[in-house]
């Protein structure tokens, strides 16, 4: 009799154990995190909270997860959940490097205070500018700079020189806190003529400015 009771108890205990194991392993769980905590989590289209988040009692099968980190930044994936297992979803947004667009007139230089002096013969003896660097531009070795002047269909390499270094060191390196005055000899330009001046530093970033000669050019006339 005692043996029969023990056997019955053993069978019942076995059934209860199997039943509990089956019950506990019938669902899975999902742990969801993101680089920036607080991102919204949508599980199968329904908002479930913010990261970091653990979803329990998830039905086995394929589920859809979307993580929204404010604005238009989001991440979506499909995940297969297995009974009794914990699946992990971790979102680290891709770091995107954007190269700044380089304009046609690359702002390496800033030209100021254009001056023209009428000379004799076929030349304007001095066409000059104050030359500075725009904020953030690297120092420029002026000995490696090229200057071209385009009038109509003709492009020239005029003679030019540094005529003054304002608040500058004695070297030929133009830095952000300095101003160099440059002057060049040009072919004779009439009032109303349009010309294009191009200055190219050693690293090849062109600076181009197009201007028109004023109506009046005389000695020491600024325009």
CATH of the domain at 205: 2.60.40
Q: Are 64 and 46 in contact (CB under 8 A)?
A: no
Q: Name the burial class of residue 34, with classes exposed (0-12), middle (13-18) and buried (19+) by CB atoms within 10 angstroms of its CB.
A: buried
Mean pLDDT of 173-189: 86
Residue 211 has pLDDT above 90, yes or no: no
Same domain, 113 and 218: yes
Q: Would you state the pLDDT for residue 31?
A: 93
- pLDDT tens-digit series, residues 42-87: 999 999 999 999 999 999 999 999 898 876 678 888 989 999 889 9
Residue 103 within a domain: no
Mean pLDDT of 120-136: 76
Distance CA 195, CA 188 (A): 11
Structural domain of residue 56, as residue ranges?
A: 28-93
Same domain, 114 and 204: yes
Beta strands in 7-122 (DSSP E): 28-34, 40-43, 46-50, 53-58, 61-68, 74-81, 86-91, 109-117
Q: Are 127 and 184 in contact (CB under 8 A)?
A: yes
Residue 10 has pLDDT above 60, yes or no: no
Residue 134 has pLDDT above 70, yes or no: yes
pTM of the predicted model as reported, rounded to 2 decimal places: 0.47
Same domain, 115 and 175: yes
Mean pLDDT of 1-16: 44
Q: Would you state the pLDDT for residue 101?
A: 41
Residue 194 within a domain: yes
Mean pLDDT of 25-51: 89
| Residue 115, strand partner residues | 128, 222
- pLDDT tens-digit series, residues 136-149: 788 888 988 999 98
CATH code of the domain in which 45 resides: 2.60.40.1120
Q: Would you state the pLDDT for residue 55?
A: 93
Same domain, 116 and 165: yes
Q: Would you state the pLDDT for residue 7?
A: 40
Residue 218 has pLDDT above 60, yes or no: no
Of 3 and 150, which is predicted with more confidence?
150
- Domain count for the chain: 2
Q: Are 195 and 151 in contact (CB under 8 A)?
A: yes
Q: Are 105 and 170 in contact (CB under 8 A)?
A: no
Of 34 and 25, which is predicted with more confidence?
34
- Report CA-CA distances (Å) from 149 to 64, 110, 139, 160: 64, 17, 23, 11
Residue 162 has pLDDT above 70, yes or no: yes
Residue 21 within a domain: no
Alpha-helix runs per DSSP H in the chain: 2-24
Same domain, 114 and 206: yes
The band of 99, judged by pLDDT with boundaries at 50, 70 and 90, is: very low
Q: Would you state the pLDDT for residue 32?
A: 92
- Looking at the chain, the whole-number percentage of residues with pLDDT higher than 90 is 17
Q: Would you state the pLDDT for residue 71?
A: 61
């Amino acid at each position: 009799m005692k043996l029969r009771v023990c056997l019955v108890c053993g069978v019942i205990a076995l059934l209860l154990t199997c039943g509990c194991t089956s019950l506990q392993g019938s669902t899975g769980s999902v742990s969801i995190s993101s680089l920036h905590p607080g991102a919204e989590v949508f599980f199968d289209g329904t908002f479930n909270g913010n990261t970091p988040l653990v979803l329990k009692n998830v039905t086995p099968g394929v589920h859809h997860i979307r993580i929204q980190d404010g604005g238009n930044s989001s991440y979506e994936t499909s995940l297969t959940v297995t009974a009794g297992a914990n699946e992990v979803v971790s979102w680290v947004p891709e770091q995107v490097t954007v190269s700044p667009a380089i304009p046609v007139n690359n702002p390496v230089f800033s030209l100021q205070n254009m001056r023209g002096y009428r000379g004799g013969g076929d030349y304007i003896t001095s066409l000059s500018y104050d030359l500075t660097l725009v904020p953030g531009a690297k120092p420029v070795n002026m000995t490696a700079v090229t200057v071209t002047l385009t009038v109509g269909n003709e492009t020239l390499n005029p003679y030019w020189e540094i005529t003054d270094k304002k608040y500058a060191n004695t070297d030929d390196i133009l830095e952000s806190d300095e101003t160099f005055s440059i002057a060049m000899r040009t072919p004779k330009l009439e009032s109303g003529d349009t010309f294009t001046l191009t200055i190219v530093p050693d690293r090849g970033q062109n600076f181009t400015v197009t201007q028109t000669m004023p109506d009046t050019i005389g000695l020491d006339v600024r325009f």
